[in-house]
Amino acid sequence: MSTLLERLKKNIHFEEGMNSCMNCGVCTAICPAAEFYDYDPRRLVDAVQRENEESIRELLRSEQIWYCGECMSCKTRCPRGNTPGLVVMALRQLSQEEGCFTESEKGRQQYALKRVIAHNILERGYCITPDLVKPEMHPEQGPVWEWVYAHMDELYERMHANLKQAGPGVLRQIDDDSMQELHRIFEVTGGMEYMERIEQCSVKKAEELGTTPEEYFISVYTENNGRHGN
Amino acid sequence: MELTGKERIWQEYQKEIAGDNYFYARSCIRQTFFPGSEWAYLDILRNKLDKRVTEDPKHTTCTGIGYHTDVVPAETTMTVVARHFALMTEAGCENITPSCITSFGLYTEILDTWEHHPEIEEKIREFLWKATKREFKKPANLAHTSDIIYKFRNEIAALAPHRLRDVHTGRPLRGVDHIGCHYAKMFPAKGIGGAEFPAVLSGLIQAWGGESVDYPERRHCCGFGFRNYLVMANRGFSVANSKKKFESMQAYEPDFIVANCPGCAMFLDKWQYTLSEMEGVTYGQHGFGIPVFTYEELTALVLGYDPWEIGLQMHQVAVEPFLDKIGIAYDPEAKYLNSRGESMGRPACPTYMKVIK
Ligand code: SF4
Ligand code: SF4
Ligand code: SF4
């Protein structure tokens, strides 16, 4: 069994994102996550650079690796050509493979993301469709969206869309053959297995906490302990 | 001709954009929030600029949102994108143009990875064959849909009945651009103007008679941050970043915002409402918000399309003050009618932010 470090080094994101860090902090200065969270990409890259197994494992269990928004603003600025955002992607993958993500509040949210996004992709062939943006889950969308939602069929027809119908155009129903191809791609490439792992670790965590997966889903989607800000 | 000085430097910030025969890849986010934009885009390219654009209904999500929320691994995403390339190849096209900035960034990243790692490309070809029995050629040209509008901005100006000017005073309208992080931050050479000198949208504003506003937080992220919006508990991150941008641009009194990425356009529109409800603040003139447009909407407006035909009734921030300035006639009654001319009712009014009832 290879060490965490060896596995990180094999990750393509890690390889592309990590050269050597001189700790200048330029990435932190431009990072939108560092501005509002107790988060510092410089510290994170430095911690990985030290190549200490224990501190890497600690990172995988920490909140630290879940704040980044993957905007990749850091890539434009690092004088050493690092991309902390890519290093984060590699750490997140490892954290999920190792089942460490359920040890932090922000990490546990992967269950909500997996349930929502995987459902959309594998059931609809879209990341998002209008009926999935339910006003009660999205109060920030405001009254116009509520109106759009209430008159969805008529309104998208007015917008020349082909909502849930066969054939080409906006928001068409993806045909069965294409959906099967998409599923097979997920199977062949390990995407299904990857998501299954997130599911299993989360269900196990829910059991440990004495809640049902449904309750667990709602809590990881909505709870914020208020200790993430800087 | 030998280019010197600034012209030579500027050359590095230009990119190749194919002139015709595009394979169009739709965006889940744009179709959901700005369905009229995709319709308008195709109508403009095909019927105003006389270009050949092909699409294939078998095209699916690129899984980009899954990839950037870390629930879909890289090999899976790459293979889904390889299938898109296969559909393009089968359609006899070699120029691909995605409507989504997330897809554009992803396609760019994947092609770059394959360039450095031919063994990964090989593996993905095997995955695709195993899963779908499809093969593909890599695109000869990859351009975001807005790059194509940029390329033809002067042709569009020549066709346009409207200019970005206040018809009452002649003042050029002030436009704020937002090109979106994944357009050029990852691969600056692939975006017009790179990450430093965003030109893809400000070039449109200027070509159509407006004035582009440079403001301190112009390059700051809109705040989507994938998991930071998609999980309800994290949305404070998202709204805080947008707020930072609004506060920074407000001093320049912009007449409108134009966005490259459908996600950004949606956030910059909706968060103005949220912030008005949270804090009672509005960022536009006279208690309104700052109208936000997709670049397709802006193009369609100068070209004289009906505002309700292209979906401006789906915006939370009122667009009418902008339409009045630029002198676009519209029927206020038609705003909330369906295709058969029947009323669909009206949205409720926000508490603080003014809208046109
Ligand atoms: S990619 Fe992540 S670490 Fe980099 S600037 Fe964006 S939020 Fe910060
Ligand atoms: S900008 Fe680059 S070199 Fe500087 S601290 Fe960040 S990763 Fe290290
Ligand atoms: S600005 Fe926002 S929506 Fe646009 S690319 Fe960046 S994070 Fe994504």
Q: How many domains, in total, are found in chain B?
A: 2
Residue B276 placed within a domain = yes
Q: Which domains does chain A have, with CATH numbers?
A: 4-106 (1.10.1060.10), 134-173 (no CATH)
Residues B97 and B193 reside in one and the same domain? no
Residue B9 included in any domain: no
The CATH number of the domain where B306 resides is what? 3.40.50.11810
Which of B179, B232, B351 to probe the A interface (max A CBs under 10 A)?
Answer: B232
Q: DSSP per residue over chain A, as a string?
A: ---HHHHHHH-HHHHHH-S------HHHHH-HHHHHBS--HHHHHHHHHTT-HHHHHHHHTSSGGG------HHHHH-TT---HHHHHHHHHHHHHHTTGGGGSHHHHTHHHHIIIIIHIIIIISSS--GGGS-TTT-GGGHHHHHHHHHTHHHHHHHTT--TT-SSSSTTPPPPHHHHHHHHHHHHHTTHHHHHHHHHHHHHHHHHHTT--HHHHHHHHHH---S--B-
Same domain, B271 and B167: yes
On whether both B139 and B172 belong to a single domain, the answer is no
Which of B80, B127, B313 has its CB closest to that of A182?
Answer: B80
- The answer to whether B285 faces chain A, any CB pair under 8 Å, is no
The reported pTM is 0.95
| Cβ-based contacts of A36 with chain B (< 8 Å) | 236-237, 240-241
Residues B222 and B292 in one domain: yes
**pLDDT tier at B223, thresholds 50, 70, 90:** confident
Does residue A12's CB lie within 6 angstroms of at least one atom of ligand 1? no
Sort out which chain B residues have CB atoms less than 8 A from A171's CB and list them: 31-32, 35
Q: Within a domain: residue B102?
A: yes
Domain shared by B188 and B139, yes or no: no
**Contact between chains at A220 and B231 (C-beta distance less than 8 A):** yes
pLDDT in tens, A33-55: 999 999 999 999 999 999 999 99
Domain boundary, last residue among B145, B169, B201: B145
Are residues B136 and B247 both part of a single domain? no
Pick out chain A residues at pLDDT < 50: none
Chain A environment of B80 (Cβ under 8 Å):
182, 185
B329 and B184, same domain (yes or no): yes
pLDDT at A91: 97
Whether B141 and B168 share a structural domain: no
Q: Residue B184: its pLDDT value, please? A: 85
pLDDT surpasses 80 at B313: yes
Can you give the pLDDT at residue B12? Answer: 61
Statement to judge: residues B101 and B237 lie in one domain: no
Q: What is the ipTM of this complex?
A: 0.97
| Domain range for B31 | 15-145
Query: Any idea which ligand is nearest the CA of A42?
Result: 2
- Cβ A35 under 6 angstroms from ligand 1: no
Domain assignment present for B154:
no
To the nearest whole Å, the CA of B186 is away from the closest chain A CA by 6
Q: pLDDT for B15-41, tens place per residue?
A: 889 999 999 999 999 999 999 999 999
Any domain includes B350:
no
Question: Would residue B317 count as lying in a domain?
Answer: yes
Answer yes or no: is B351 within a domain: no
Say whether pLDDT at B11 is over 70.
no
Token pair belonging to B317: 């921030």
Mean predicted confidence (pLDDT) in B260-269: 94
Residue ending a domain, among B145, B170, B202, is B145
Say yes or no: B118 and B177 in one domain: no
- CATH number of the domain bearing residue B105: 1.20.1050.140
What is the per-residue pLDDT across B128-178, written as a single tens digit (0 to 9) for each?
Answer: 999 999 999 999 999 999 999 999 999 999 999 999 999 999 999 999 999
